[in-house]
Structure 1
Amino acid sequence: MFQNIGFPGLILILIIALVIFGPKKLPEIGKAAGQTLREFKKSTRDLTSDVTDELDEAKEIIKENK
């Protein structure tokens, strides 16, 4: 989705955000976005490890039953 946004596009988005939210509110919004992204990545990692653990357990059960 964001593969085609280059440096000029990012500058334009930053300018629009600066006009809409103002310079005082922008750092707070950036911090909140960073925390949300960090939490999303952590949840994704946890979910992936849960699925991997389940697959490993299933492989062990299959090996035991052979």
Structure 2
Amino acid sequence: MGSLSVWHLLLVFLVVVLVFGSKRLPDTARSLGKSLRILKSETAAMRSESRTETSDAPASDPQAAPRTIQAAPGDTASARPVEEPKGTTAQS
């Protein structure tokens, strides 16, 4: 009585197709996939950034190239530069 069967899932899918239309579903799925790739790349960038902050490397290298975050490998249309905070480095 409390479990979902195949018929329930099929009915939900049919309602979704009727509400959104079969024309918009591929675009919606593509947009969702792109959003998930962006989320994954942002998460990876945050992890690598936290690893470099804990290492002994200098926090600011004046000759270092500006970093960019890309949504997916080869996707240059959505690449953007990373905004580095100014004046927040610890002075020893």
Query: What TM bracket, shorter-length normalisation?
Result: 0.5 to 0.7
Runs of 4+ in 1 over 6 A off after TM superposition: none
How many residues are aligned here?
A: 53
Cα shift at 1:54: 0.6
Match of 2:43 in 1: 44
Q: Give the alignment of 1:7-26 within 5 angstroms.
A: 8=6, 11=10, 13-26=12-25
Note the residue ranges of structure 1 that are not aligned, 5 or more in a row.
Answer: 1-5, 59-66
Q: Whose helix proportion is higher, 1 or 2? A: 1
**Percent identity of equivalent pairs:** 28
1: distance between equivalents of 2:24 and 2:45? Answer: 32
2: distance between equivalents of 1:57 and 1:7? Answer: 56
TM-score w.r.t. the length of structure 1 is 0.62
Structure of higher RCO (CA pairs closer than 8 Å, 6+ residues apart): 2
Cα pair distance change 1:26/1:43, threshold 3 Å? same
1: distance between equivalents of 2:48 and 2:41? Answer: 11
